[in-house]
Structure formats: structure tokens, C-alpha cells
Structure 1
């Protein structure tokens, strides 16, 4: 740090007066911050503590003994954080003399409250089999898709759900095609069609013609 300031001092000898004054002000505001981070209960050095200058993308971490060192400016706010400890902040005083400042930061353990755990006795084999067989497992997406593709369910949905635009267009085109196919002649009547009677009997047994209220 002292060698660095010496080199800067030699370089400013060739700078204009205004630049020299600005450098003197900047040099006076630079501080070498160093110290040690310890646990508040046992005063043991705390390693791997993050030391960050607030509002800037600069920082460091403590070594195995909890010691750290970083260059900051007077008035900077320094944040200390570590997993399992409450975060702490320190402000570098603006009125300190010289360019070095040391701190001893104590970190307090952060208490974590976990949800209550209920310990129960191990169930008997009969109890386990009963609960396992009676467990209602929710259907996954594949099972829901199978249920929706069931023939009976599809028929119920077709009878209640309105047709979309594509289905209505297809039905209209089919009707127009049949009308054009039998143009100039009488269309066949399904009253003598055995396949039509078979479908009619099946629909009658299913109750498709019952009144729906």
C-alpha cells in the first residue's frame, strides 16, 4: 500500500495543479480496511465470510482465521454475510486520520425455526396393507387422457358439447356432397337398410331417445 502511494505521488509531480489537487483529495479518501471476523459466542475466527462494498461489485472473503483486507473509500458501507449468521454492516468513518482502518466484526448465529415433527410408532403389517390398498392415488395426465378417450365418455361429450367451426364446416360439406351425389334422382331410404336398423336398435337400448331434462 505504501509503495503504491509512493509511485502515485511521483507520477503526480508532472500533473497540472488542478489534477494534483483532485488526486490529493482522492488519495486522502482511500482507506485500507482490514480486520477479523469472529463468532460472538466463542470468539473464534470465522472463515469464508463474504465482505462486500455496498452498492459496488467489489468484495473479498475471510481466510481460515477470519482475517480479511480490502481497499475502500471513506464513507463506504461494508456488508458482512455468512450462511448460518445474521448479516452485519459497518460504515467506514469519513473523519478518520490516515489511510488505514481496522475492525473486529462479531457475527451472531441466525436461529432457524423448523416445522414441528410428529413421531409415530411403526404400523403393523396389517395396518400398512390396509392403508396402502385404501390410498387414493390421483390420476396423472396419461390416465386422464385415457379416461377422456373412453368410448362411452366420448359419446356423452359429443351429445352435450357444441360443434366447433371445423366440425360444422365438415358436416355442411358432407351434406352438400350427398345432395350433389343424388342430384336428379331419389335418395335411398334407410328404412330398409339392415345396418341402419342395427344402429337404431343399439341407440334405443342405450337410451339415446329418452327425454333429457
Structure 2
């Protein structure tokens, strides 16, 4: 019987302690917004100072956290000034709604320079073997050389195998078309006479005083 009363007393004391602990806890549910435009701030870190309680606001800035009277709730987010909210001791209820505004803050980050070389030795090697880029004058020379080559290539285009084959097929077809009969006489063809007069005016029948020399062409790599 003695042990029965001890157990009952222990349960009552435990229940009373738990009840007092529950009465000290206060739940805050609300939203975190910007101070200037009242827009919701998502992913704000919210925690009770000097405790393990904490949460994060959702995409709409909503949150819910539990704290005790006298404790401080901290609101922290990148790009905003940190806000501290101390739970008053005079609160009588266990649930309150809270609208917490936050002021925009400017964050100055240290300068970071990213290099493509993994070590100083690789940097020295790359620096020694680096070919300096062309200046404006050198680029102009290359462009002029490329344009000169393009002009020569436009004026003189050697016949490739496909064009030579097509010309040979045309000649064979022409011979087969007039096989066994007299070929047409272009003496009375006005188109042939027009082509002859035009060639005569352009001087295509003049003799070249200089002997024919083989022409050499050089290809300069075009600029990209």
C-alpha cells in the first residue's frame, strides 16, 4: 500500500511539472514580409535563441514556431537585416499570430577572382608559352591578304572533276544527236554572230605579247 501512494504521488508531480512546462510554451504562427512593400519573404531562418528550436518560412513566407516567455526569436535571411523578437512575459494565451516585417539590407562580398590555372606553376608555364594576340594592324593585314586571295580565286577557278565530266557528257550527247547528218551551220545563226561581235569588242582575239606563265595561288587562313 505504501508503494501505491508513492507511485500516485510521483505521477501527480510529473503531471503538474508537465502542465507547468506546457503552460510556459507559446506558439507563434504568422508570415514574414518586406517592410516597404509587404511582400512575403520565403525561406527565412527562424529560431529561438539559445535553444534547439527552429524552422524555415515556406514559399509564401508562412511559419510556425514555439517558444517560452522571455525567450528571443531570431529572423534571419540573406539580403535582409536580422530581426529579434522577445516574447513578453505578460502574455496570457498559448497561441498568437505574428506578422514580422524585415528591412532590405545590402551585403558586400569580398572580391573573388577565378583563374583557369590550378597552381602557380601552371600559371607560369601558360604565361611563358602564351602567344600575344594580333593587334589592329596585323589583323588588317591578314584581312587584306584574305580579300586579295578571294579576288584571285573568283577570277580564276580551276575546273574540277565534276565540271569536266559534265562538259564531256555534253560533247558526247551533241555528237550523238547529229550522228549520220550534217551539223548545224552557225554562219547564219544570229546568236553566234552576236557572241562573236561581243568577244571582238572585248578584245578577246588580241594576241598576248607576254608568254603564258604559270600562276601560283596561296591560301591564307581566314580570320574567325
Q: Is the TM value for this pair above 0.5?
A: no
TM-score under structure 1 normalisation?
Answer: 0.45
Instruction: Select the structure of larger CA radius of gyration.
Output: 2
Q: TM-score, normalised by structure 2?
A: 0.43
